């Protein structure tokens, strides 16, 4: 009878936890998803830290999150994404930038990115999450925008489920860490940070292609493509694109006229 009562009690508790977007301890206590597998024991029986599969640290590769004060992340995250690819293609990755464009709160990008790409410290099993107080401040500014648009804040990011200052949590740094401090190159137009190894590699990584401008190093009898990279001068305007961006076939009529004009000018000078 006691066993049946216990089973009945657990059966009644579990749906209640799930209906609130919470996880259940083996003891039946409801717990925010953010506290599960975060490196801290919160269930009385320790079941929130059992059977945890935490991925290895990997570089942050989400465009939205390239200005973070840290460069490594790992999954799964609190929103239920198991990879950066999944996080980058999620509806949250569309919602957060749309909200940020409204300028509803200056710390929204930091909050969104620490949820999408939580920081990873090599050798540590603890996953740090944004502080509840930060989430509440952001929601004061952005909640009205969400309601006006008929949208809802992600359940996994519910402020009430995030840790308060009694636990280790994340707040924005002041001042924020820039690209240079992280050993990266900053695109002038959109402040995006890229790896220095991507400069002048023939592929535009900045939206304005500034990482492929002012590149030097082409040899004699070579010409530089618009977005970087060198090709032989003899294949310039030969009817076949040889540059990665096909810029060797742009405005060929104008270029040929200019070259002919320079050539004629040179001949005239030599005769004089």
CATH number 4.10.400 is the correct assignment for the domain at 178-214 = yes
Which segments of the chain are extended strands (E)?
A: 22-24, 30-32, 58-59, 72-73, 129-130, 169-170, 185-186, 193-194, 222-224, 230-232
Tens digit of each residue's pLDDT (9 = 90 or more) over 166-218: 667 888 875 455 666 666 777 776 566 777 777 777 778 777 788 878 776 67
Determine the average pLDDT of the residues in 111-130: 85
Mean pLDDT lowest for which of 25-39, 195-209, 258-272?
258-272
- Beta bridge partners, 24, equal 30
Residues of the chain with CATH 4.10.400.10: 216-272
Do the beta carbons of residue 248 and residue 225 sit within 8 Å?
Answer: yes
CATH 2.60.60 fits 2-49, yes or no: no
User: Which part of the chain has CATH 1.10.2000.10?
Assistant: 58-177
- CATH for 58-177 is 1.10.2000.10
Beta pairing partners, 224:
230
Q: pLDDT of 62-113, one tens digit each?
A: 888 877 778 888 888 888 888 999 999 999 999 998 998 898 998 999 999 9
CB 194 within 8 A of CB 187: yes
The answer for 196, left when phi > 0, alpha when psi is -120 to 50, beta otherwise, is: alpha
Report the CATH fold assignment for 216-272: Low-density Lipoprotein Receptor (4.10.400)
Look up the pTM and report it. 0.51
Q: Which two tokens stand for residue 211?
A: 């990482």
């Amino acid at each position: 009878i006691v066993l049946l009562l216990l089973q009945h009690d657990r059966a009644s508790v579990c749906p209640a936890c799930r209906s609130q977007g919470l996880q259940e301890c083996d003891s039946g206590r409801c717990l925010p998803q953010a506290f599960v597998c975060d490196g801290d024991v919160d269930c009385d029986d320790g079941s929130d830290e059992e059977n945890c599969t935490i991925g290895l640290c990997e570089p942050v590769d989400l465009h939205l999150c390239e200005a973070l004060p840290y460069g490594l992340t790992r999954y799964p995250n609190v929103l239920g994404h198991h990879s950066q690819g999944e996080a980058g293609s999620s509806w949250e990755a569309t919602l957060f930038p749309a909200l940020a464009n409204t300028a509803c709160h200056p710390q929204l990008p930091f909050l969104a990115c620490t949820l999408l790409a939580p920081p990873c410290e090599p050798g540590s099993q603890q996953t740090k999450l944004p502080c509840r107080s930060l989430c509440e401040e952001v929601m004061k500014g952005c909640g009205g925008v969400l309601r006006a648009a008929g949208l809802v804040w992600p359940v996994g990011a519910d402020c009430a489920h995030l840790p308060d200052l009694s636990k280790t949590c994340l707040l924005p740094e002041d001042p924020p860490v820039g690209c240079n401090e992280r050993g990266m190159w900053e695109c002038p137009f959109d402040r995006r940070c890229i790896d220095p190894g991507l400069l002048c590699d023939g592929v535009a990584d900045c939206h304005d292609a500034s990482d492929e401008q002012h590149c030097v190093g082409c040899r004699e009898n070579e010409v530089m493509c618009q977005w970087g990279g060198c090709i032989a001068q003899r294949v310039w305007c030969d009817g076949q694109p040889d540059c990665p961006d096909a810029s060797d076939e742009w405005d060929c009529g104008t270029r040929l006229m200019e070259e002919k004009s320079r050539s004629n000018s040179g001949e005239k000078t030599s005769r004089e």
